Amino acid sequence: MRVAIIGAGLGGIAAAVKLRKLTSATFVIYEQSPGVGGTWFDNRYPGCEVDIHSHAYSYSFLRYDWPRTHATQPELLAYAEHVVDRFGLRPHLRLNTRVTDLVWEESTSTYRLQTEHGESAEYDVVISALGLLNVPRYPDWPGLDTFAGPCFHTSRWEEHDLTGKSVAVVGTGSTAVQVVPAIAPAAGQVYVFQRQPGWIEAKHEREFTPRERWVYRHVPLAQRLHRARIFHQGNRRFRGYDVNSGHQQRMRAGCENFIAEAIDDPATRAAVTPDYPWGCKRPVISSTFYPSLNSDNVELVPHAVSRVTPTGVVDATGRTRDVDVLILSTGFQPTRFLAGVDVKGRDGRSIHDAWRERASAFLGITVPGFPNFFILYGPNTNGGTSIIAQLERQADVAVRAVRRLERSRKRSVDTSPVAARRFVDWIDRRMATSASAMNAGCHNYYHDAAGHNVTQWPAGHFTYALATKLVSRLGLKTAR
């Protein structure tokens, strides 16, 4: 079997490792960036680090000597490089190569793959590991293109000396809460523009002690038990997403207590307190953002940006603040799955046409009419404690399908439309009482233009692991 993997982030790496260990397939990993790591290669802003515990935000098949409870961007990039070398994946990499087109050939049961360089190749199976949060969302504020100073998105960070400068950071999501504490000590003034507050929980990050690191290195069961405990806590945490649960109230009360303890100014405390349920949008994990708002040179602006001038930013009340540097922490376009790649399945139908009304996939992995094509981090798979664990389970489904094709005389595996519809119906039923429902009163990135929640997995990782192990075969049928 010839397999193409699109993307050398942590999803693509997981798929490659499992293909190498469990099949005899040959494979090529296409990556548009100059290096591996995916989002941890692209995002290099100050303070960049993961908000999931390191022992959960890593592969189950490899014990690793993490120095901290929550890995920084350089540490995560080093981890990706380590896994690539540990499992001999480097010869399979095609860096600086973006895949643009995939066309299913019914007569040969293969995909014709094309790259931006005009190269063409044929593969029996394609695994897309393009990620979810990789297409920046740029605002359409009037005057943005007239700003005279440095202006950039956090995922496209530009190095500038911010010493003594007046800096505007627009947004208070997971990225902004890392950027602000990191740049505030050097900047002369930092304005933090907040369209809507988010629920923030303390991170409790720290260095592992030498003794802890020794135990995790030399006692094989220690890291596994710690990982299991993290996932157990994550499963319990998911109870809070039910707006009618007592756990919802406890999560909200914990965040309110954190606000009261960490922020000095009563007006600022009121401004950062949301009026919607916990979990309506992705909870932010940070121990340092709230304390940074106590600094004399940091000002929270609890208003959206309305327009930009050549020298400043105007908020929704009409007030202008002069700034030297404008940093956009305005999120991504997560509902644009497979952006930049045109995938054509049976009868020449584009996957983007199939998703015209709603992006959906069976278990978030396969789409009816697109044989031998697997998606990692597809629709409704975000969440579940750790995305790395989710990606591993998705890679398992793809690799098991490759093994089935290797061992049988069949040439393709496709998805039952009935199974795909039932999966989407189940997602919608589970989401009906979730805090992330459209009528919960917050702005989140979960929903498409029609109001469908197309990004979130509505349960913990254990539920997803069982579904991918026990249910996947019911929806995937081999043919020919």
Number of domain units in the chain? 2
Domain end point (choices 283, 310, 328): 328
Residue 62: Cβ within 10 Å count: 12
432 and 373, same structural domain?
Answer: yes
CB 445 within 8 A of CB 455: yes
Residue 102 vs residues 92, 148, 398: alpha-carbon distances, Å: 19, 41, 17
Which of 294, 328, 362 is the endpoint of a domain? 328
Nearest to 427 by CA among 393, 477, 389, 378: 378
CATH of the domain at 125: 3.50.50.60
d(CA 401, CA 419): 17
Structure tokens at 313: 């930013």
Per-residue pLDDT for the chain (480 aa), expressed as one digit of tens each? Answer: 999 999 999 999 999 999 999 999 999 999 999 999 999 999 999 999 999 999 999 999 999 999 999 999 999 999 999 999 999 999 999 999 999 999 999 999 999 999 999 999 999 999 999 987 778 899 999 999 999 999 999 999 999 999 999 999 999 999 999 999 999 999 999 999 999 999 999 999 999 999 999 999 999 899 999 999 999 998 888 888 888 889 999 999 999 999 999 999 999 999 999 999 999 988 999 999 999 999 999 999 999 999 999 999 999 999 999 999 999 999 888 778 998 899 999 999 999 999 999 999 999 999 999 999 999 999 999 987 899 999 999 999 999 999 999 999 889 999 999 999 999 999 999 888 888 776 677 888 888 888 899 999 998 899 999 999 987 777 787 766
Distances (CA, A) of 292 to 75, 304, 348: 24, 20, 54
Same domain membership, residue 130 and residue 165:
no
- pTM of whole model > 0.85? yes
- Containing structural domain, residue 250: 144-206+242-328
**Is there a single domain that holds both residue 346 and residue 427?**
yes
Query: Which letter does DSSP use for residue 297 in this model?
Result: T
Residue 363 lies in a domain: yes
Cα(363)–Cα(368) distance, integer angstroms:
12
Q: What would the pLDDT profile of 37-86 be if each residue is shown by its tens digit?
A: 999 999 999 999 999 999 999 999 999 999 999 999 999 999 999 999 99
Q: Is residue 216 assigned to a domain?
A: no
437 and 369 fall within a common domain = yes
Do residues 156 and 117 share a domain? no
Taking the CA atoms of 331, 14, 60 and 206 in sequence, report the sign of the dihedral they define.
negative
Residue 198 to residue 285: CA distance in whole angstroms: 10
Does residue 371 share a domain with residue 283?
Answer: no
For the CA atoms of the chain, what is the radius of gyration? 23
Considering the domain architecture, whether residues 105 and 177 belong to the same structural domain is answered as no
Q: Which residue has the tokens 């299991």?
A: 228
- pLDDT of 135 reads 80
Domain for residue 29, yes or no? yes
User: Which one of 301, 328, 355 terminates a domain?
Assistant: 328
